[in-house]
Amino acid sequence: MTHPTNPDARLPNPGLPDPHLPGPASLRTEAVNAAHPDLDQLGTADLVQALLDDQRHAVDAARRAGPALGSAADAALPRLRRGGRLLYAGAGTSGRLGVLDATELTPTFSWPPARAVPLIAGGERAIREAVEGAEDDREDGYAALRGVGAGPDDVLIAVAASGTTPWVLGAMQAARESGTLVIGLANNAGTPVLTGADCAVLLDTGPEIISGSTRLKAGTAQKIALNALSSALMVRLGKVYGNLMVDLKATNAKLEARAVRLVQHATGCEEPRARAALVEAGGQVKTAIVALRLGIPADEARARLDAAGGQARAALDAR
């Protein structure tokens, strides 16, 4: 397939291995873990403990990636402030983790679903079942990213444990041609997902305790990194006041009760007053807090928040 944005370039044949990509033998995530050669002979309690202990490497890898994640957040913020979207691209476990992260932004931070777009190799069916061969189709990854109309204000988070997944690399190529910021998360150093990204985040988890099963600590490290990155972005975008999730979307009884508690905690008021303020604010926690703290109507509180770019602390300080 020849693409109009790059008529002289052809993507690698999706049915053939890309000779430029590192082979499995050079990837640490594919190496045989020498620590537990007799894993299958352990008693159940020892087996579970060994699996849990190995997960600690995921936390260590994510912590080492902290500076890179911070730089990625800083690079993404101006685009999101201009109205850009968070796009996710991954295959298999990595793709499903992207779907999870994108989906949870709406109830947690009232982030519009249209501005968190998860793309997974094999399409929606791949969320629940393996779609064999989908991850090898680089052209389909390219087409998937092109299909959502990515532009220069958007941010692509490309995730692949191997760092070599052709479908993800196709999405990254389309993103670069569209001027989209590319953040690459991978569990192997020096791989194309990292070298081809604007912001590279290495999650070096090493060989899996069940060799090659990157749904284990490689996936855990990705989950931690995605949580940290998207949550940091939401904090910087004014979705949090102090450490309170003041932009949550109360869509069930549990979240409605949480909204009341958040207003009470932030203002020191009693439950009936918090509930009344939320009703007046149309369920918006942040608006209710500003209204109660400043003793003003909800409409005026909302106007103050709009003028402060949605930042509750700035709206409260601008007296």
The three-state (H, E, C) secondary structure of 115-183, written as one string:
HEEEEECCCHHHHCCCCCCHHHCHHHHHHHHHHCCCCCCCEEEEEECCCCCHHHHHHHHHHHHCCCEEE
Contact 91, 118 (CB under 8 A): no
Residue 317, classed as helix, strand or coil, is helix
Active site residues: 104, 135
Q: Tell me the sheet residues that pair with 87.
A: 117, 156
Q: How far apart are CA 4 and CA 260, in angstroms?
A: 53
Kindly list the strands in the beta sheet with 86-90, ordered across the sheet, starting from the edge strand earlier in the chain.
116-120, 86-90, 155-160, 181-186, 199-202
- Are residues 199 and 181 in contact, defined by beta-carbon separation less than 8 angstroms? yes
Q: What does the CA dihedral 131, 172, 138, 127 come to, rounded to 10 degrees?
A: 10
